[in-house]
Structure 1
Amino acid sequence: MLHPVGPLPAAVYWRRRLTVLVVLLLVLGGVSWLTVSLVAGSGAGAAAASGTAAPAEVPALERVVPTVSELRTPATAPVSAPAPAPEPVSDPAPAGPTPGGPCTDDMLGLEVRTPGQVAVGTKPTFELVVVNTASVPCVRTLDKQLQELVMVDAARTRVWGSNDCFPESSSDQRILAPGEAVVFLIVWGGLTSEPTCTAPRVNPAPGEYVLRGRLDTKVSGDAPIVLG
């Protein structure tokens, strides 16, 4: 086979053999390329079908700069608890009454006492009682002109006043000991009156009335009285 025999020159037979060899190599190369392409395509399709993506290449910046998770956060210095706020200073308790000072209205008790029931036209005596309710002695002016009794009827209409027609005056300043009571007697003439004492004075009608006492600016509660 290496020495072809024929009527033609040997070079012709060698060229034919070389041509056949080149064609054969081209055919074999094409078959190999086709086989590789088919295998690669089937592998890519399988990868796409399985949903597995090729790992992404790490960006060049992340290969140089560390991520946040790789950085170590410096320890935070412990925060000391705030100092407790100072307690508010309460105001000092008000001082009590001064011994020997004036008897203010809140240091006094004032009461009116009546017989309870009197006959119309009579002249009953009422009592105006002043008491030092404080724990210390104090001074109070008890002048006659500062004392008064007023009678009103059930409709709260003024009927009589002790200073209407016969006002009295005196100078009476006293030191009242703790718990000491001073009683003033006031007689009622049994007739109606008004502050000017110019209206006719008559006997009030029988019924229920109320007496109220006053010592300057201190006022008592109501004391009932029945006229029959």
Structure 2
Amino acid sequence: MPVLHPVGPLRARVYWRRRLVVLAVLLAVLGAGAWGTVLLFRGGTDSADGAVAERAGAAPRTPALAQVVPSLSAVRTPVPPPAAQEMAAAAESAAAQTPAPAAPPEPAPGGPCTDDMLAIEVRTPGSAVVGSKPVFELVVTNASAVPCVRDLDKGLQELILLDGGGARVWGSNDCFPESGADVRTLAPGEVVVFPVTWGGLSSTPGCAAERTPPPRGDYAVRGRLDTKSSPDAPLTLT
């Protein structure tokens, strides 16, 4: 047969090589066509599936990051145990039921003037020459809203002079003590002033020590009415 036994001027193996080459090309073309058909079919199916999923309202796929990191809504806040809640509620209830501290009773009009109802103050000239005789004032004020009664006896009044270190230098009752009943009813806001002259010399209780003029410097004068004391008032000796 001429197909199996080629006839021509060339050798037979030349014709066989040509036939093998044509056969290989034909097989390659057929294989490429078949692969393209498969790809075309798969692509059409994916597109059709996507369209059907879109028309059916299917949910989109979850991104890979959302699969790894949980959403904040999924994190649960720890809830205190029931015992702790009951204790907190009991504490709030006890605090709500605790009565407020009672206000101190108002002073009765015409009663005694307690120390809380009085204001004591000392007034000084601010400065004085060493050896001079400055005048101090002990000021007593009824700071309450009602009239009250207080004994303003001279023996209950006292002024003392203190040096910069707080040491006692002079006292108004050391050498010339006075006494005598002086019970008064003080109206609300009433002010009573008692002037006291200092002789300019030091003194000790009982006036037993030698009296000398204190040196120049800064001092303080403190007043007292029985158990009620005043703030210190400054005095400078020049």
Q: Distance in 2 between matches of 1:191 and 1:136?
A: 41
Match of residue 171 from structure 1 = 181
Which residue does the alignment assign to 1:196?
A: 206
- Tell me if 1:143 matches 2:172: no
- Specify the code of the residue in structure 2 equivalent to 1:114: T
Structure number with larger C-alpha Rg = 1
Matches within 5 A, 1:207-218: 207-218=217-228
What is the letter of the counterpart of residue 124 of structure 2? Answer: T
Q: Hey, what's the Cα distance between the residues in 2 that align with 1:215 and 1:164?
A: 16
Q: Give the C-alpha shift of residue 146 in structure 1.
A: 0.2
Match of 2:190 among 168, 180, 185: 180
Question: What does the per-residue CA deviation read over 1:7-49, in whole Å, with 9 as the maximum and x for residues that have no partner?
Answer: xxxxxxxxxxxxxxxxxxxxxxxxxxxxxxxxxxxxxxxxxxx
Segments of 5+ residues of structure 2 without an aligned counterpart are 1-92
Q: Residues of 1 paired with 2:227 and 2:143: CA distance? A: 16
- Corresponding residue pairs, total: 145
Aligned to 1:118: 128
Give the counterpart letter for 1:165 in structure 2.
C
Identity of aligned residues (%): 61
Gap regions ≥5 residues in structure 1: 1-83
For normalisation by structure 1, the TM-score amounts to: 0.61
- Cα distance change, pair 88–208 in 1 and its aligned pair in 2 (3 A): closer
Aligned AA (2:107) = P
What residue in structure 1 maps to residue 116 of structure 2? 106
Task: State the AA in 2 paired with 1:147.
Answer: Q
Residue 94 of structure 1: CA displacement? Answer: 2.8
Q: Where does residue 227 of structure 1 map in the other structure? A: 237
Q: How far apart are the structure 1 equivalents of 2:206 and 2:98?
A: 59
CA offsets per residue over residues 81-105 of structure 1, 9 Å max, x none? xxx9994555643321111001000
> Secondary structure, in 3 states, of the residue corresponding to 1:221?
coil
Distance 1:126 1:106 in 2: 24
Deviations, residues 136-178 of structure 1 (Å, cap 9, x unaligned)? 0000000000000000100111100000000011110000000
- Partners of 1:155 and 1:206 lie apart in 2 by 14
